[in-house]
Amino acid sequence: MFKGSIVAIVTPFKNGKVDEKALGELIECQIANGTDGIVPCGTTGESPTLSGEEHGRVIEITVAAVNKRVPVIAGTGSNSTEEAIQFTKHAYKVGADGALVVAPYYNRPTQEGLFQHYAAIAEATPLPIIVYNIESRSAVNIETPTLARMANIPNIVGVKEASGKIKQMSDVIRTCGSDFCVLSGDDAFTLPLMALGGHGIISVVANIVPADMAALVDAFFAGDLARARELHHKLMPLVDAMFIETNPAPVKVALELMGKISGDVRLPLCRLTEANLAKLKNTMLNYGLI
């Protein structure tokens, strides 16, 4: 259902508020450069510091701007099951094509609690759901047997795998079947995951090089492994730079250096140190972006 290079788009801010004009321009740039889907209000979109009103508005803007040209997979996760249900219902109401639902963070539910959380969200709305498994941020790993149970729920259609464990990714693909959409949650694992049978990437680096990430994915699915490998190695220094500090601070500064948005993030995130800014600039210069 969802495949290819999908961007986890940033939420640009201006004078402390969502910069709606800049967001629309970023979306147009993504579509023009071959991006296969847009994820608003994910981690890269700073969903934890968006108000409920802002969260809903960002999804509405994205759906309207995309206008069905590519799928919109709205970030609707929360560590409160009821809040996640409300976010997901809103995304369905305004026309999103899917929901990306992160594992509940901080409360550290059991595997049974995780299953019941996702089952409740899936029951509340017909929207296709992508589970987002990222232990480094949620403090819980969705184990493969639990995910396989979720895959039996008709509108839980896939997973964004950001466990960082290639064996777990392989186990998920083998266990959940070819119809279950497995997307990488780490840019560095895009090519390895697709080689195992994955369907693509929900990408951070695509915010600044959408054409190259799209070309990598397209080359792989066209059978041009040499070209996909070439693009993988080309992208890796830039991918590393995107995580020189906590995402999305580096990618927003990169977009600022490219003249696209303000690099502002919301506390408790903050702007890059001077040393890391210099490293980021050097990487971007070497890549030819600035």
Active site residues: 132, 160
At 115, the amino acid letter reads F
The answer for residues whose C-beta is within 8 angstroms of residue 206's C-beta and 6 or more apart is 5, 6, 7, 8, 30, 35, 187, 213, 214
Report the amino acid identity of residue 271.
R
Q: Strand order in 4-8's β-sheet?
A: 37-39, 4-8, 200-203, 181-184, 156-161, 129-133, 98-102, 73-75
For residues 255 and 225, the answer to whether their CB atoms sit within 8 Å is no
Q: Which residue has the tokens 């232990």?
A: 135
